Structure 1
């Protein structure tokens, strides 16, 4: 099965990298790839972890580092519910800024190895740091990530995908998708017409809709709403703007529709989302692996 391209860039906004806790009823099969590195710690849930041609069981405490363009997914066991993970996704341009320093030689070697996916068995000392990372302020978050990666570079991980597995390589379609994603991110505060994005990549509207869904696994309108909601979440947790003002600044033309889309995407309304975030941040709640 051909993996879907996942756009990470539009989700991180003005942050250097993305770090968040993912709480879902279950981990669904979503065979995908992206140009960013990904470090994932499973807090709750068990099932199958697929990285390239590696198919293995996973459970709480499962810690994996995946290099750019390596297809991957986690799939919950049928009876699982209330799954949770810490996910950190960082671009090559961000991490490369540090790799020229001699102190990060081992880290550079680790990231080279991660092209095939790496599993770190039994590293409870790092779980607490990983669980706290998403709630840290910007500079501290960067320092914490570098510290975690440096500690991992001193370990002996297990390589997941075989040498024969070839990661996804960028082509014309990926170039087109990146162009569209960047355009959406720059213009997310207004209505974005299907005709303008189709013209951006020299396709008819009908051809563009088919192309976009085939490449990303979702409709263009659903993708735009994902970006809008992601931006709204950042504003809800990073500013004191009223919910209505945030809705309009993220391109929603009426508050009722914003609330409906937010509830669908996050299973919670915007006001409760904001309250939960600050409650979590004030108590520094950690995940189960660190108990």
Structure 2
């Protein structure tokens, strides 16, 4: 499976950008991309998000800015007790670029350039911007335009981190897109079982050594690092949300050895699984 190209122009109609609220019992895996920028704020719900090759847990208050053509998906399991809610703002290059020529928005211009890797605004540091975003769907269309520019300016003052390494290549070109997404889908579907380097390489008709170089060049990390990140994020979610013993969580996350799981977890999280559960 490859990420789907999502066409958003029909949503904009005669508007310069779109802003809407999503309220659903779950967010299914739908890895997609589009030429528009996207700002997504999570009002309620928790789960996992995959942006480029960055795989992390998210919860209420999560706020990210995505650049054009950056593949992404949010994954939330169905929860009868709580609906998942998000506010999504999407705007095109044609809309934002004329504003970026003004000196007053030089910091916004720098932030927009960084968004091609994905930007995560640290929860707890974005409360003022979050309040403005939550108001957006209720504003008249003329007010929304001014509010969006104000939000973008405020975001430049908010602590943030890039979600992908500098080496990450945004999806461009059907051939590369098709090859990489075969790999991503293989890992997404099978990380709880055995993941084979040989199998991954064969999916795109490369030798194992050539595959490792290709993956590292495209993603800025090794294939084993990528697999471990996805497995450890799954383990983190189980540690926080369940009382399942650590030994079973290790197995459920695709690790046959508890010792190796503990070593990888400590390397990735700088803390043991048991302490992570206590502090979570």
Say whether 1:100 aligns with 2:89.
no
Please report how far the alpha carbon of residue 167 of structure 1 lies from its aligned counterpart in structure 2 after TM superposition. Answer: 1.1
Partner of 1:160: 163
Question: In 2, Cα distance between the equivalents of 1:125 and 1:16?
Answer: 24
TM-score (norm 2): 0.59
TM-score (norm 1): 0.57
What residue is the counterpart of 2:19 in the other structure?
19
Distance (Å, rounded) in 2 between the aligned partners of 1:170 and 1:9: 21
Offset of residue 165 of structure 1: 2.3
Displacement of 1:30 in angstroms is 0.5
CA distance in 2, matches of 1:28, 1:164: 28
Once the two structures are superposed, the pairs formed by residues 71-90 of structure 1 within 5 Å of their partners are: 71-77=71-77, 79=79, 81-90=82-91
Gaps of 5+ in 2: 178-280
Q: CA deviation at 1:35?
A: 0.3
Q: SS at the partner of 2:70?
A: coil
The alignment partner of 1:19 has SS state of strand
Q: Distance in 1 between matches of 2:17 and 2:146?
A: 12
**RMSD of Structure 2 on Structure 1 (CA):** 1.8
CA distance in 2, matches of 1:142, 1:12: 13
Structure 2 counterpart SS, 1:69: coil
**Deviation of residue 166 (structure 1)?**
1.4
Residue 4 of structure 1 corresponds to 4
Cα contact 1:119–1:157 (8 A) shared by 2: yes
> What is the total number of aligned residue pairs between the two structures?
173
Gaps of 5+ in 1: 175-291
Find the counterpart in structure 1 of residue 61 from structure 2: 61
Taking the aligned partners of 1:88 and 1:68, their CA distance within structure 2 comes to 13
| Mapped contact 2:67–2:112 kept (Cα < 8 A) | yes
Q: Is the 8 A contact 1:48 1:77 kept in 2?
A: no
CA distance in 2, matches of 1:105, 1:144: 18
